[in-house]
């Protein structure tokens, strides 16, 4: 017979997977809105953020209730603790999707539409890598796969390097065309948001490893390269 705790944990897992799907979708739409200057899509991301916030609160309350009522131990306790941490990371990814959408809203305004450079291919590559990290970290969660989670840790250094390269490239654009500095700075802001997305994906991967193995690997990502 399935225990009450088992049923509650299964419910919690479904909740975090639903939030994962919502945050991942929001992130992709946020960047696509930036890439295509799609104001309607940007506004959709901004409007839907309240749903992500509500899901995050509901999941946290559910996790804390399970801890209080059932006092789980061992793997069950690690699972709940990890889910609560992942819950927070997903909400922050949703916030970063909104930040990207806000950059898209600015850049799609009539004043700037014809007066800023296109999204550089390097930013698109960085975005794809960051979104891949999110997808892999969530796949690791779904499949309870610590090996896949460790792959995410290895990818974080790549995104960090891409971010440094983007900073230098954007600095050069500002130096060559100072009249476009305000619009270009919004692109720089976007790269910082993407770098933070990669950081949150890394945190999720670290939490998955902890959940499955009990091993704490935070601040040790370099060991997995």
Q: What is the pLDDT of residues 5-32, one digit of tens each?
A: 999 999 999 999 999 999 999 999 999 9
Instruction: Domains for the chain: give ranges and CATH numbers.
Output: 4-224 (1.20.58.220)
Residue 1: pLDDT over 50: no
CA–CA separation, 145 and 6 (whole Å): 20
CB 93 within 8 A of CB 160: no
Q: What is the pLDDT of residues 77-135, one digit of tens each?
A: 999 999 999 999 999 999 999 999 999 888 877 554 555 556 667 788 999 999 999 99
Separation of CA 100 from chain center: 12
Residue 225: pLDDT over 60: no
């Amino acid at each position: 017979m399935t225990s009450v705790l088992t049923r509650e944990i299964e419910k919690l897992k479904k909740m975090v997977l639903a939030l994962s799907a919502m945050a991942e979708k929001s992130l992709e739409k946020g960047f696509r809105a930036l890439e295509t200057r799609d104001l309607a899509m940007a506004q959709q991301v901004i409007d839907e953020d309240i749903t992500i916030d509500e899901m995050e609160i509901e999941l946290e309350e559910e996790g804390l209730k399970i801890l209080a009522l059932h006092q789980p131990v061992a793997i069950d306790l690690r699972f709940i603790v990890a889910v609560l941490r992942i819950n927070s990371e997903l909400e922050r990814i949703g916030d970063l999707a909104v930040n990207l959408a806000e950059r898209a809203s600015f850049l799609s305004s009539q004043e700037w539409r014809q007066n800023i450079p296109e999204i550089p291919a390097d930013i698109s590559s960085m975005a794809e890598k960051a979104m891949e990290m999110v997808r892999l970290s969530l796949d690791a969660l779904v499949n309870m796969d610590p090996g896949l989670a460790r792959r995410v840790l290895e990818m974080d250094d790549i995104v960090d390097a891409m971010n440094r390269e983007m900073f230098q490239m954007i600095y050069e654009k500002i130096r060559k065309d100072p009249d476009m500095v305000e619009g270009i700075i919004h692109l720089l802001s976007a790269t910082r948001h993407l770098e933070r997305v990669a950081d949150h994906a890394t945190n999720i991967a670290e939490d998955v490893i902890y959940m499955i193995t009990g091993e704490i690997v935070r601040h040790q990502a370099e060991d997995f390269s």
